[in-house]
Amino acid sequence: GSKVPIISPGIGAQGGGARQAIEAGASYVIAARSIVESDDPAAVAASIAADTQ
């Protein structure tokens, strides 16, 4: 059967961690505010991506 994707918001800005969300079963993480409101969006996005590896 197909697996229902789990989408986890609140990564970074609300205190959630990407790795913890993935380990808890999230299929996708949402980190928009952390990236958009950052002084260095590319660095924040790269850091969050690295945290999921």
pLDDT for the residue numbered 30: 92
Q: To 10 degrees, the CA torsion angle through 3, 46, 9, 34?
A: -170
Could you report the per-residue pLDDT of 1-53, keeping only the tens digit for each?
568 999 998 888 777 899 999 999 999 999 999 999 999 999 999 999 998 88
pLDDT for the residue numbered 53: 85
d(CA 24, CA 3): 15
pLDDT for the residue numbered 12: 80
pLDDT for the residue numbered 1: 56
pLDDT for the residue numbered 11: 86
